[in-house]
Amino acid sequence: MATKFKLCSFKTCPWVHRAAIVLQEKGIEYELEYIDRNNRPDWFLAISPHSKVPVLIVDEDRALFESNAIAEYLDEVTEPHLHPADPLDRAYNRAWNDYVPVCSKITHLTDAADEADLDKRCDEVRVIFGKLETALEKRGNDGPYFNGPDFSLTDASYAPALMRFTFFDRIHPLGLIEKYPLVEVWRNALMARPSVSAAVVPDFEDYWRDILRGKGRWAAQFIPTAAAAE
């Protein structure tokens, strides 16, 4: 009998996005259930130690939490394998996957209280982009992905943050990623990857803008018109 998967999600969560990209890349059928973050059901709280998403329910009786653990599990049990075959390369990719939480600073640009705060946050993103640029320089090929021409779990790990950075850059151009040409090419390749766009709700950019406007953040002023998200 085929394994059944249910992915528990918030619609805007980048960590769920990471897990969903892996499911999409592997062509795995899965059910998606959205959790109300303001009214999280008891059954969900019972299986999510942090009370957060993603949670992947496997065959209705086992639950995995933490996006990295979910991605690693899916890569072990289904092909094509997205980790490099070489053990050292695989460990190197895992190390960079452990760096991903730092990249929450990229998605938190929208939390800036004012222009001065945004400038400070951009300085932190410059440090991140600089480190990623150096890592991409070391791969010894033209990419466009983290390891080269083949999409990997590391690409799935960084795609959510780079997508959300792109959305913000479109409403308020920062002139930031352009200073890191390898990161920019990588970002463009990820944005064009079907699995990346299929792993979020339809019209996700409009939905993202609508959520930003609803939060009343300083950055909401840069959204030109009302988004059509529901």
* pLDDT, position 229: 40
* pLDDT, position 1: 52
- State the Cα–Cα distance between residues 191 and 186, nearest whole angstrom: 9
* pLDDT, position 2: 72
Which residues face 98 on adjacent strands? none
* Residues belonging to the chain: 230
* pLDDT, position 149: 97
The CATH topology of domain 5-77 is: Glutaredoxin (3.40.30)
Which residues face 5 on adjacent strands? 58
Using the structure block, give the residue that is written with the tokens 């959790």. 35
- State the Cα–Cα distance between residues 149 and 157, nearest whole angstrom: 16
- State the Cα–Cα distance between residues 72 and 137, nearest whole angstrom: 25
The CATH 3.40.30.10 domain(s) of the chain lie at: 5-77
pLDDT per residue as tens digits for the range 110-127: 999 999 999 999 999 999
CATH of 87-222, one of 1.20.1050.10, 2.40.40.20, 3.40.50.2300, 1.20.1340.10: 1.20.1050.10
| Phi and psi, residue 153, nearest 5° | -60, -30
Strands across the sheet containing 55-58: 31-34, 5-9, 55-58, 62-65
**pTM for this one?**
0.94
* pLDDT, position 72: 97
Query: In which residue ranges of the chain is pLDDT below 50?
Result: 227-230
| Tokens found for residue 136 | 């991409």
The CATH 1.20.1050.10 domain(s) of the chain lie at: 87-222
Give which of 225, 10, 224, 217 is closest to 108, Cα–Cα.
217
